[in-house]
Structure 1
Amino acid sequence: MPNYGMPGVAVDRKRAMTVGTVALALVVTVVAGWALYHSQQDEPGMPISLRTEQIGDGVLVGTEVRANGVVVGKVTDIAPDQHGTQQISLRLDDSKLFGFDDSLRVDYAPANLFGISEIELRKGDGGSPLRSGTVLDFTGRRASEVYDATMGSILRNAAQVGGSVLTPQMASVIAQAAADTQAFTPLAQALITAQRTIADNQKMPMSRLFGELGPAFDGGGRFAGATVQVVDLIRSMQRLQSDRAAYDKGVATVTGTLLPALATTFSQAGTQLSGATDMLVPVLTALARMVPQPQQSAVELRLLLERLRAAMPDTGQGPVLNVQVELKGVPAIAVPLLGGAR
């Protein structure tokens, strides 16, 4: 029996070749039809295009498109367009674009903190409904409706702001504001103390509050009495009663002559001595450099004075140097000093 034969079946070589060829052709036809069907079938979604003057960092083919926080499509193609613009092709799910029309706005926004970007669609003021193949032109007048908020744009803007704001003038303004704030510190402390006192008194019982205010009224009475005594003392001065003109003349001399003369004297002294005080600066600077370590110099000076005091004790007739000289065996010095005694 031949290799192409089957038991109980009458078949020859020519018939077997015909059946095999027909079966192979049928399989090829089915596969080609299935491929042609899928190639001609449109991808689901509504294709639209965006013509823009700039593309956000990280916006690539496959980037997600969101509307109201929901993914509604993706970027299918990015190609250069005329006059230096770019055309971004999108495929959107029209069932999720409720309320969006051709007046929509575009944001290049970061999807996370790792630099991955996405396109965010925002509703406009109202326009024509979106249709398949619509081209939205965001160049010229509508260029401001595209906002780049990607991480790269944020970092570049932060660098530009830092370079333009953090200037020496700004540092001077901050320093001046700090000085002014420090000048108002005592006033703020006084206000805080007053507020704290008021708050503490509000918490005190009424009986205790009146008890604390009692000595204040007593002190006020004493102050009023002392004031009346001072006024009475001034009114009862014999000089005012007997020689008021001379008293007024003395007061006028003090207020009209003496005090203005002192003011003029001190003003002239400040003007004339300013040069002398300027000369003291290098002198004091040189003295400061001569004693670079004041604490160590003070200790060494104290030790030197103690040793001098120990070497020259006070005998009642003045300090005497406490020293003993051994002159034995030196006759050239011993004889004149000791007068010849041995």
Structure 2
Amino acid sequence: MSISRSQDFLRGSAEHQSRLLTATGVGVFALACAAVVGTATLYPRLTAPQGVEVGVEVPYVGPGVATGTKVVLHGQTVGRVSELDRTAADTVRLQLVLDEHQIDGLTDQFEIDYRPENYFGTSAVNILATPTGEKLESGLELKRTPRGDYTMSTMIEQGSSAIDGTLTSDMIKSLDKTVHYLDGVTPWIDTGVLVADRVARTQYALPTDLLSRFNDILGAAPEFSDQAIRSLMNIYDSPSYNRSPDGSIGVDDSVFDESDAGLALAGNKLFGQAGALLASHGEELTPLIQSVTAASDLFPHLSSGGLNPDAAREIVRRLDSAFVNGPDGKRLRLRIVLDDFPSLAAPLGLGPFTPTGGAR
């Protein structure tokens, strides 16, 4: 005996409603099963990395290499490390996903090493292409021994080990002395740079002019060198100082002994006695020297036609007349004379004239 149920949202007899509910339930169940099967089948394919997947088994990885690390070929990023697992044979398996559009020509015989990807030291897996081998395809499982570990961490560690073994106390002392010596040379270097800068700022001649002048100097150089060589030869072939009594080349000891005796006599008797005389009359000579110095400082270059009393008075007069009284105080009266410079007077149309006064 079947029990009929009446549904308010379905029309028809109870038997018709029952059949409709059963069909709907079967349809929903079938759709759910299809969704589960489709998800289990298609989801891994949809979420799988796009590119060529290659498994590489290596004995070790460089510091910083992990899941997501970039794979580099010829300095260009061509993929990444999708998985990093340790195998039962105490090795490491790298799952590489490579962009098939950027690995054209790469074969299954490639080598790898570890090195920084950029200047910040980020580690990357570097692929070294080889001309032999077959085309690289997804699903390959390869075994490789890295050619080297050139990551930043390894380089710093090795550098620290090298420094720890070589930078001894004696080496530090030597470096310290070298630095102090270089500090002493620093003023010379600064002077050279300053001189070169001044020459560069003041040198306005063209290179052709400089080379022509240098060529003139080189033109006189052979004759100068010839005369210099002849002078040295004459000194070398001197009969007084480079000839023995028998005429052969050698030192004439008698001449040098005589010269030495003359120098000793001049040094001890002449200059020595003069020094002793000056030292014994220091109290008398000091006031005299000071008086002469004071007198000579008063009129410098008096005997050489330089400054004289008339010129000194003229300078004082000009300094006094440089300041004039004005309604708001003293003013400086300044005159710039350009007619003494032909390079300025000619373009300005100025000729020799005597200004009559006024502020300039």
Please, what TM-score do these two structures have when normalized by structure 1?
0.46
* Structure (1 or 2) with the greater helix fraction: 1
